[in-house]
Amino acid sequence: MQAGRKKHGLSMIDIGAWLREFRYRFLLFVSLPVLLGAAIAYMYYPASFSLGYFLLSIIAMLLLHSGTIIINDYFDFRSGTDILNQARAPYSGGSGLLPEKALKPWHVLIVGTGCFALCIIIGLLIVLARGPAILLIGFAGVCLGVAYTAPPFKLCYRGLGEIARLAATPLIVLGAFFVQVPVTSIPELISIYPALVICVVASLPVAFFNMAAMYIFEFPDYEADRQVGKKNLVVRLGTKNASYLYLIMQAAAYGSLIFAMLAGIIPWLAAIILLLLPASAYAATGLLRYNAEAKKLLPYLRATSNVYILASIILVLAYIIRF
């Protein structure tokens, strides 16, 4: 029976492996900045909002993210970090499929590259229909996705991956905004300049919450990353010092939120996000205590992830409700 399945197509094991490779739990992560950009566009320019192009932008972003993490898996396997990693968890350590030989490396490389190619095709279709302003942002996004782990750039191996992730969030928010608000000339761009500033400032809390989440996911991988020379910030600083940087990221998230609300850029309904402070404090104290004990970190990884997701959803709803 199994031989018959393999002869005529993918077996259920293969399908399950590919579902794991795409890391479905992270797909919501990358969708949230798109939702924020679209919500801001809907608030200020409701007449130009297009559900169809919104869905296309979500698909393009999911493909870009999938390409990034799949290619990251491929190069982490080639470097040896995934083989050495003994602390793999739901939020860290990669999929583990290549060390398990559940997938072939060249299959993973082809699928990851294919995700980037499909993202570019959809992006170009959006550019043709909604204006050239998206082109530069889309190009920057694809470059960051490829350069994150692929040679010769390998940003995540040089302590620059965290900065790339921080920069990516405002780019995604701006890109989603431009999808909904077509701009075809410099005068049009100047006319919407205030809304663009709002996009950037409003994206900062989301960017820092996301940065903190992706950053804490690096702690369980510390030993494997250190042994293969993957010098992300956790490896460069050491787990103890790196845990203090996590505190700074969380403080920046809440600080930028409060600043933006006081400046009238983010609606006051978003103050509900401050109710997440105890969860952030729980994650921070846990990381400070167990930063070098990978097996004890999962609750704090989960808490940080949940804070990012909930804060982003609340912020999106604050713009939609306009309270």
Q: Which residues is 92 bridged to in the sheet?
A: 89
**What's the rounded Cα separation, in Å, for the pair 294 and 287?**
10
The reported pLDDT for the residue numbered 16 is: 74
Half-sphere exposure of 147 (CA within 13 A, CB side): 17
CB contact burial 218-230 (16+ within 10 A = b; e otherwise)? bbbbbbbbbebeb
In a domain, 228, yes or no: yes
In a domain, 2, yes or no: no
Q: Are 219 and 293 in contact (CB under 8 A)?
A: no
- Reported as a single tens digit per residue, the pLDDT across 149-208 is 888 888 988 999 999 999 999 999 999 999 999 998 899 999 999 999 999 999 999 999
Q: Are 315 and 258 in contact (CB under 8 A)?
A: no
Place of tokens 């983010």: 266
Least confident of 50-64, 139-153, 270-284: 139-153
Dig out the tokens for 107 from the structure: 């299959």
Task: Judge whether residue 49 has pLDDT over 80.
Answer: yes
Residue type, position 303, single letter: A
145 pLDDT band, cuts 50/70/90, is: confident
2 pLDDT band, cuts 50/70/90, is: very low
The reported pLDDT for the residue numbered 1 is: 41
In a domain, 8, yes or no: no
In a domain, 98, yes or no: yes
How many structural domains compose the chain? 1
Which letter does DSSP use for residue 24 in this model? G
Q: Are 64 and 119 in contact (CB under 8 A)?
A: yes
95 pLDDT band, cuts 50/70/90, is: low
Least confident of 91-100, 285-294, 296-305: 91-100
Full domain range(s) for residue 177: 13-321
In a domain, 5, yes or no: no
In a domain, 308, yes or no: yes
Q: How many C-beta neighbours within 10 Å does residue 244 have? A: 13
The reported pLDDT for the residue numbered 83 is: 65
Q: Kindly provide the residue ranges of all beta strands, DSSP E only, lying in 101-246, ordered along the sequence.
A: none
In a domain, 186, yes or no: yes
Verify cis geometry, omega within 30 degrees of 0, for the bond prior to 152.
yes
Q: Are 106 and 71 in contact (CB under 8 A)?
A: no
Q: Are 283 and 307 in contact (CB under 8 A)?
A: yes
In a domain, 230, yes or no: yes
Least confident of 24-33, 244-253, 312-321: 24-33
CA distances from 257 to 169, 211, 272, 301 (A): 15, 15, 11, 22
CB contact burial 151-164 (16+ within 10 A = b; e otherwise)? eebbbbbebbbbeb
**What's the rounded Cα separation, in Å, for the pair 198 and 260?**
9
CA distances from 74 to 9, 91, 149, 212, 318 (A): 23, 17, 9, 24, 39
Q: Which of 156, 159, 307, 308 is nearest to 242 (CA)?
A: 159
* Mean pLDDT, residues 38-56: 95
Task: Judge whether residue 314 has pLDDT over 80.
Answer: yes
The reported pLDDT for the residue numbered 11 is: 46
Task: Judge whether residue 102 has pLDDT over 60.
Answer: yes
- Reported as a single tens digit per residue, the pLDDT across 246-297 is 999 999 999 999 999 999 999 999 999 999 999 999 999 999 999 999 889 9
pTM of the model: 0.88
Q: Which residues is 89 bridged to in the sheet?
A: 92
**What's the rounded Cα separation, in Å, for the pair 241 and 237?**
6
Sequence-distant (6+) residues with CB within 8 A of 268 are 261, 318, 323
CATH code where residue 175 lies: 1.10.600
Dig out the tokens for 237 from the structure: 């600083």
